[in-house]
Amino acid sequence: MSQDDTIRRLVNAALQRRLEADPKPIIDADAVNALPEGGTLHVPAGAILTPLAQTAALERRIKLVSESAPSARPTEKPTVAIGADHGGYSLKEMLKTMLQADYVVIDCGTDSADSVDYPDFALAVAEQVASGRAWRGIMIDGAGIGSSMVANKVPGVRAALCYDQATAINSREHNDANVLTLGAGLIGSSLAQQIVKTWLTTDFGGGRHGRRVDKIMAVEKKYRG
């Protein structure tokens, strides 16, 4: 047996073990090779892309597009709390307009580009989510870091700073994030819209991720006063 055959056998065995523990659809190299060179492959939410499929996609310049799972939304129109400091004010106003088509929006301020302190508004957004008045929360400041720190001090909140669609998906699928923070000085308006849409419509993966989120919340409970 050649070295390549041995590697292929080990990879297949590892994939089989993964499937038995957490069954998901598999996309293999045959599916990639069936597409015209330079084409697009839509990868269903939760699907496993084999290493050979990834290699084939690179070699044949196939664009891989991940499809988000339908959002587990409340039966009624969901409520989203949004806030920003002066650095995120303009982006907040743009996102608020976009969100109002599909969500009830609670605007936690600020209401102008005058200088303010981001902790005040990050706290307001986080409290809306922690109290259950809002399904999710979005907070924008210059870098998104400080607001994430503030929001995560509120019990029940899992805030995630996201800067692209991959981190938006990961924060929802793996961490069940309920508050999104954005850095207006780091991303443009188009990317911000893509991140928000992806984040709001990506389901939590559950399974092993649920066990890990439970451990996150256990740490919070341990140190809560």
Does residue 212 lie in a domain region? no
How much is the average pLDDT of 208-212? 90
Q: What is the CATH number of the domain that holds 177?
A: 3.40.1400.10
**What is the model's pTM?**
0.69
Contact status, residue 34 vs residue 56, Cβ threshold 8 Å: no
pLDDT-wise least confident of 58-72, 76-90, 201-215? 58-72
Catalytic site residues?
174
Q: Do 137 and 30 belong together in one domain?
A: no
Compute the Cα dihedral for 185, 169, 42, 63 and give only its sign.
positive
Strand order in the sheet with 179-183: 104-107, 79-84, 136-141, 179-183, 159-161
Q: Do 125 and 100 belong together in one domain?
A: yes
Q: Do 196 and 102 belong together in one domain?
A: yes
Q: Do 39 and 95 belong together in one domain?
A: no
Does 108 score more than 60 pLDDT? yes
Q: Do 84 and 193 belong together in one domain?
A: yes
Query: In the prediction, which pLDDT does 53 show?
Result: 74
pLDDT band at 19 (very low <50, low <70, confident <90, very high): very low
Q: What is the mean pLDDT of the chain?
A: 86
Q: Count up the domains in the chain and report the number.
A: 2
- Domain stops at, among 15, 43, 66: 66
Kindly provide the residue ranges of all beta strands, DSSP E only, lying in 62-150, ordered along the sequence: 63-66, 79-84, 104-107, 136-141
Query: In the prediction, which pLDDT does 23 show?
Result: 53
Does residue 150 lie in a domain region? yes
Q: Do 94 and 195 belong together in one domain?
A: yes
Q: Do 94 and 192 belong together in one domain?
A: yes
Report d(CA 62, CA 67) in Å as an integer. 16
Q: Do 164 and 99 belong together in one domain?
A: yes
pLDDT band at 71 (very low <50, low <70, confident <90, very high): very low
Does 3 score more than 70 pLDDT? no
Q: Do 95 and 191 belong together in one domain?
A: yes
Query: In the prediction, which pLDDT does 70 show?
Result: 47
Higher-confidence residue: 38 or 104?
Answer: 104
Query: In the prediction, which pLDDT does 10 show?
Result: 58
How much is the average pLDDT of 121-142? 97
Q: Which domain holds residue 46?
A: 3-66
Does 72 score more than 60 pLDDT? no
Using one digit for the tens of pLDDT, what is the confidence trace for 135-176? Answer: 999 999 999 999 999 999 999 999 999 999 999 999 999 999
Q: Which helix (H) or strand (E) holds 40?
A: strand 40-43
How much is the average pLDDT of 104-117? 98
Beta bridge partners of 48: 26
Report d(CA 122, CA 160) in Å as an integer. 12
Q: Do 94 and 194 belong together in one domain?
A: yes
Contact status, residue 203 vs residue 70, Cβ threshold 8 Å: yes
Does residue 59 lie in a domain region? yes
Query: In the prediction, which pLDDT does 124 show?
Result: 98
Does residue 134 lie in a domain region? yes
Q: Do 83 and 54 belong together in one domain?
A: no
Closest CA to 216 of 177, 163, 173, 186: 177
Q: Do 143 and 191 belong together in one domain?
A: yes
Does residue 178 lie in a domain region? yes
Does residue 126 lie in a domain region? yes
How much is the average pLDDT of 62-77? 64
Does residue 84 lie in a domain region? yes
